Amino acid sequence: MNRIEGRVKVTGLATYAAEYPVEGVTYAYPVQSRIARGRVKRVDAGPALELPGVLAVLSCEDPPPLPEDADPELALFQSREVAYRGQIVAAVVADTYERARAAAGAVRVDYDPGDHDVTLRMDHPGLYRPGVVNPGYPTDTEKGDVEAGLAAAATTVDVVYETPVLHNNPMEPHAALAYWDADGRLMVYDTAQGISTSRNMIARTLGLPREQVRVVSRHVGGGFGSKGTTRPQAILAALAARAVGRPVKIALTRQQMFDVTGYRTPTIQRLRLGADAGGRLTAMEHVAYVQTSTLVEFAEQTAVPARVMYAAPALRTAHRVVRLDVATPSWMRAPGECPGMYALESAMDELAYAAGLDPVELRIRNEPETEPDSGLPFSSRHLVGCLREGARRFGWEHRDPAPGIRREGEWLIGTGVAASTYPARRSPSKALAKVLDDGDILVQVGAADIGTGARTALTRIAATALNVAPERVHVELGDSDLPDGPVAGGSMGTASWGSAVVRACEELVKDGKEGRADTTDEVKKEAELARHAFGAQFAEVRVSAVTGEVRVSRLLGVFACGHIVDAKLARSQFIGGMTMGLGMALMEETLTDEEFGGFLNRDLAQYHIPVCADVRDVEAYWLDEQDDALNPMGSKGIGEIGIVGTAAAIGNAVFHATGHRVRDLPITPAKVL
């Protein structure tokens, strides 16, 4: 299907959070801390308040009352403590954006700075074992005897991989517009991946009952995780609107987004692998080191995919985290799985070379019968099918395994492979389906379409469930007054909302007029199974022997993700994820300022993402899986698996081209030469 909102989006008619026409709107602009750690001694709002059009200055000098247990990232102006450079310490409200911005520059903040530490190291004395890793997995697992397995191995690999801080850069910057009704109800146009989630978080932060908050987010220009949890702009708009008694809009700049909307933690990962003479793993150990802030513990699940991938009689995974004077890391497309699989799949490539085995064959030889860590049966698993189908389509069989020998002029050429995986989950959701006067069907669900095509996919799901033409189905989403739906995240939006939509449609068929569904019980009663999507990524690179520049001439992915709801939407998700993986492999890197804290390259001129000219040839294919243990559609999430494995496939191809193994991303010319 074509995107239902495609026309309004490309013609500029789709309304985003900052664009709702609201009478009497005013503007807020944040003041950000200039120190990485310390205390705000004094905020002098005087000079700002004298400027034209300024309505208020909010700061810790006069903290708005918030519940004591509010999320410290959102509890604005409650504390004088500064936890990271760029933290919001004050804000100006004025009658225009420009006046608010100018006045923000006139607010004087005096600090008592303390010593800061913003650098993750493998030997950092502050590293500790977190309680759980995102989103609730055990921190460490151990099965069998890793040391004995390594000692008995014919081939071993012991390597350390590193990935940098990465930032989500959705096209639509974070923005919110808030006002309070005469009866005290808060209305927020926010840019949110979770409509009901956002309403709940805003209500909780402000100490309001849920019913007193409404969040509307009909179109979202990308999120990738950065809009999965409520960000300070929504809270600031609400607090400022209360302070001035007028609607307040806040639109963060790209630079501000880098500071306050989360980022992918840097990782340091040690992989120890051992294999017998036949290439079968005797031991596998994956230890991940990540960072969090002093405010909130967010420990990424970096080593979790190692629990899923390969049969190894001895398997140990562990996560260590350190609290630094930095903003709290958060979700970025396939948090954990993406950097974790980069390291694991690169190390598997190293093992293949060390063992003298083809890297596709090495993976096939280590295919497990049940989920290695839990022993649970897989609901479906077609990694081997993806590897074989990918190898066939890519032309892998003609590959000469020797590295560094193919050359066309200045260009060294190589190919690489890596596997992908991502969990196939769903969350409880509600939905409503009813027959309209003209006989068409209205479907309502508190879902968010963050650019994935959720609105279109849900239309197709409802049309299929009702056996009517998609044109007769009208899906309403993006409003917390609709039936509660979970976040568009964890690649589980479609599976979660779609389940409720199908059930509501079934109820409608029974009733003739209207059907309501709540899948809470259905989700709770799911059988215990290992549910994951799998894939195989193939890359061809050309590396300049003169400049060290890496060009990805081909990317090809084959995925096994249950039943594909819509081919066109799915292809977009896969190639979008793979493109983001290309960025991770070669370009993306946020530099932390060790001297002053904070991030240095906070815009798209300095934080490089792939543009069309970088993306030459990307192909995505899939194996249609029949899996009845998932949801009524038989679908697995596809939003994140495309990025998983891509960076490893490219890195492995760079090794094959050059004979030089780069173990820290991104693979920039300086590291290649």
Among 320, 333, 531, 571, the residue binding ligand MOS under the rule CB under 6 A is 333
User: 228 vs 642, which CB is nearer to ligand MOS?
Assistant: 228
Among 38, 170, 228, 577, the residue binding ligand MOS under the rule CB under 6 A is 228
The beta-strand segments (E) located in 195-308 are 213-216, 248-251, 267-275, 281-292
Shortest separation between residue 115's beta carbon and ligand MOS, angstroms: 33
Q: Does 577 bind ligand MOS (CB under 6 A)?
A: no
Among 38, 262, 335, 557, the residue binding ligand MOS under the rule CB under 6 A is 335
Among 58, 157, 216, 332, the residue binding ligand MOS under the rule CB under 6 A is 332
Q: Rounded CA gap, 364 and 118, in Å? A: 41
Q: Does 262 bind ligand MOS (CB under 6 A)?
A: no
Q: Does 340 bind ligand MOS (CB under 6 A)?
A: no
User: 30 vs 194, which CB is nearer to ligand MOS?
Assistant: 194
Q: Are strands 132-133 and 137-138 parallel, antiparallel or unpaired?
A: antiparallel
Shortest separation between residue 628's beta carbon and ligand MOS, angstroms: 25
Q: Rounded CA gap, 357 and 352, in Å? A: 5
User: 30 vs 336, which CB is nearer to ligand MOS?
Assistant: 336
Taking CB under 6 A as the binding criterion, the range among 65-73, 328-336, 422-430, 468-476 that sits at the site for ligand MOS is: 328-336
Q: Does 133 bind ligand MOS (CB under 6 A)?
A: no
Q: Does 305 bind ligand MOS (CB under 6 A)?
A: no
Please name the amino acid found at residue 585.
Answer: A
Shortest separation between residue 308's beta carbon and ligand MOS, angstroms: 17
Taking CB under 6 A as the binding criterion, the range among 236-244, 325-333, 517-525, 590-598 that sits at the site for ligand MOS is: 325-333
Q: What is the DSSP letter of 590?
A: B
Judged by phi (left if over 0) then psi (alpha if -120 to 50, else beta), residue 517 lies in: beta
User: 331 vs 622, which CB is nearer to ligand MOS?
Assistant: 331
Q: Rounded CA gap, 317 and 285, in Å? A: 6
| Residue 91 structure tokens | 């804000």
Q: Rounded CA gap, 556 and 649, in Å? A: 10
Taking CB under 6 A as the binding criterion, the range among 36-44, 90-98, 221-229, 274-282 that sits at the site for ligand MOS is: 221-229
* 517, 641 contact by CB (below 8 A): no
Residues 6 or more apart from 564 whose CB is under 8 A from it? 570, 622, 624, 635, 638
Q: Does 314 bind ligand MOS (CB under 6 A)?
A: no
Residues counted in the chain: 673
DSSP run (H or E) holding 144: none
Among 262, 490, 562, 651, the residue binding ligand MOS under the rule CB under 6 A is 490
Among 485, 489, 515, 651, the residue binding ligand MOS under the rule CB under 6 A is 489
Q: Is the dihedral of CA 375, 381, 387, 392 positive or negative?
A: positive
Q: Rounded CA gap, 215 and 487, in Å? A: 13
Residues 6 or more apart from 131 whose CB is under 8 A from it? 139, 297
Shortest separation between residue 457's beta carbon and ligand MOS, angstroms: 16
DSSP characters for 466-496?
HTS-GGGEEEE-SBTTSSB---S-TT-HHHH
Q: What is the DSSP letter of 35?
A: S
Q: Does 573 bind ligand MOS (CB under 6 A)?
A: no
Shortest separation between residue 10's beta carbon and ligand MOS, angstroms: 24
Q: From residue 655, give the alpha-carbon distance in Å to each of 346, 384, 417, 543.
A: 10, 23, 11, 10
* 52, 275 contact by CB (below 8 A): no
Q: Does 485 bind ligand MOS (CB under 6 A)?
A: no
Q: Does 642 bind ligand MOS (CB under 6 A)?
A: no
* 108, 47 contact by CB (below 8 A): yes
Among 87, 191, 193, 420, the residue binding ligand MOS under the rule CB under 6 A is 193
- Best CA proximity match to 623, nearest among 393, 409, 360, 330: 393
Q: Does 225 bind ligand MOS (CB under 6 A)?
A: yes
Shortest separation between residue 418's beta carbon and ligand MOS, angstroms: 20
- 3-class DSSP state for residue 289? strand
Shortest separation between residue 589's beta carbon and ligand MOS, angstroms: 19
Shortest separation between residue 132's beta carbon and ligand MOS, angstroms: 17
Is residue 361 annotated as part of the catalytic site, yes or no? no
Closest residue to bound ligand MOS by CB: 225
Task: Say which of 350, 540, 589, 640 is annotated catalytic.
Answer: 640
User: 155 vs 330, which CB is nearer to ligand MOS?
Assistant: 330
Which residues lie near ligand MOS (CB under 6 A)? 193, 223-225, 228, 331-333, 335, 489-490
Known catalytic residues are 640
